[in-house]
Chain A
């Protein structure tokens, strides 16, 4: 791996940037790996990276059906925060946020992490009470989160309309200043480059079509569109397609896959200083460094794998955006798209063992997986390397749906999902 530095930049600029070369190889699959990761999104690539750097396991393959970062990693609205209510979630997302804070340096790759602050708006008394509870719970967990009055919201983010005439007036907001955004593609590319440099094989256009098990039921490898690949351990990190992959091993999952849509506007000069989320009206907005407004909607109501949702969902979101930010009513939208998110009954992820030995799963991130990418990869790498969960992902078992120890962020989010 050629490191990016001031001297390498200067020397390349003199050569017309012709010497950078490919940032990762395109290897042929080997017959067997110690660990095979199914899914080359941010979480899968981060898992491979930490397997190599933290645990010294480099005989690893990441198998990706399409191209890396082409699924939900490239389709989300890049919001990063850690102000979750429950202790288990707070620990998991804060672990990720701390890794984000040093990630560009760690990877020697600019992931454009920007701690511009995430402001979550409250529109009714229930929101106010719920968000204040989040603020206090977060502080007990050492996570920054503060309550802003509506005037303070306006001061922090001037485009917000706080007038009393709104159908859903702004009553205040919860602000996490350390939260923000990052460049989603760069996260996938940075992890891919770092993992590849340490010997991990990133195999694109390689679809897993089956999971082979021996007579005792242990998972021993995967059938793929490029032939059979043996595996010591298998980690499934397939987001919306996790149910499909796990069915290949005979495991039924407590997951449902829904379309989640986002859209971007034409690029304009800097107009929006932070991230604003409104769970109550299902609108999420920030401005990318390229100048586009990045807007997220809620999920569609039915399960689907079509990677597109109904126009009425995005229309509803834009209605809310236009009411909250009247200056954007004349903005034109350039593109909209959908990703398929795997949602668990309690809206918390599943990271750990499965009933099949040597088969592990990291899924169920629902609508909020991007923010967790580094932490998810870090604890899942620990799980794959040692065969046992890290203390942080220990509560996020598949078994919790049997024992009843749910981590009910669905209720904690205090919105209709």
Chain B
């Protein structure tokens, strides 16, 4: 079980949380103006990296608030958690591990 640092409540066990999948997916401003390919990518295509992943979590059985996290999907180690709307402090552009 993961130990997750909620930015509002501190370290709590994973069972208090719901994972919300990949973070920072922006809904297209004008869905009617983009083609099916781009709409499909918005809806379905995910980075699914082997390495650092930015994802959303909800402290559903705690404060109930959403936040973002960076986690390494190879070790499952959390790198940092940060509030919704913010950017991570760590470098996310580093190449995913082979």
A interface residues, how many (CB within 8 angstroms): 24
Interface pair B19/A257, CB less than 8 Å apart: no
Find A310's partner among B1, B43, B44, B49 (CB 8 Å cutoff).
B1
Is B48 within 8 A of A256, CB to CB?
yes
B87 an interface residue at 8 Å Cβ cutoff? no
Task: Report B36-58 CB contacts with A as 1/0, cut-off 8 Å.
Answer: 11001101111111100101000
Residues of A with C-beta under 8 A to B46:
243, 253-256
A254 in contact with B44 given A301-B19, A303-B53 (CB within 8 Å): yes
Q: B79 on the interface (CB 8 Å rule)? A: no
B33 is an interface residue with CB less than 8 A from chain A: no
CB within 8 Å of B: which A223-247 residues: 241, 243-244
Q: Per-position contact with A for B63-87: 1 when CB-CB < 8 Å, else 0?
A: 0000000010111100000000000
A255 touches B48 (CB 8 A): yes
A257 CA to B46 CA, complexed, in Å: 10
- A303 contacts B40, CB within 8 Å? no
Q: How many angstroms from the CA of A209 to the CA of B71 in the assembled complex? A: 23
A241–B48 CA distance with the chains assembled, in angstroms: 9
- Is A303 a contact partner of B1 (Cβ separation < 8 A)? no
Number of interface residues of B (CB under 8 A): 28
Q: Are B14 and A305 in contact (CB under 8 A)?
A: no
Residues of A within 8 A of B31 (CB): none
The contact of B73 among A304, A311, A312, A401, by CB within 8 Å, is A304
**A contact patch SS:** loop
| Cα separation A403 to B96 with both chains bound (whole Å) | 30
Interface check B2, CB cutoff 8 A = yes
Q: Contact: A312 with B48, CB < 8 Å?
A: no
A310-B50 contact given A304-B73, A345-B43, CB 8 Å threshold: no
Which residues of A sit under 8 angstroms from B14, Cβ to Cβ? 310, 312
Least CB distance, A197 to chain B, in whole angstroms: 34
Inter-chain contacts of A311 with B (CB < 8 A): 1
Q: Answer yes or no: B62 CB below 8 A from chain A CBs.
A: no
Contact between chains at B45 and A253 (CB < 8 Å) = yes
Task: Tell whether, in the assembled complex, residue B44 and residue A302 are in contact, meaning their CB atoms are under 8 Å apart.
Answer: no
Q: Do B40 and A302 touch (CB < 8 A)?
A: no
Q: Which 8 A-B pairs have the closest CB atoms?
A: A254-B44, A243-B48, A402-B40, A310-B1, A301-B19, A302-B19, A401-B44, A345-B44
* A interface with B by C-beta (< 8 Å): 209, 241, 243-244, 252-257, 301-306, 310-312, 345, 401-404
- Could you pull out 28 A-B pairs where Cβ atoms are within 8 angstroms? A243-B48, A243-B49, A243-B50, A252-B41, A252-B45, A253-B48, A254-B40, A254-B44, A254-B46, A255-B46, A255-B48, A256-B21, A256-B46, A256-B48, A257-B73, A302-B55, A303-B53, A303-B55, A304-B73, A304-B74, A306-B74, A306-B76, A310-B2, A312-B14, A345-B43, A402-B37, A402-B40, A404-B36
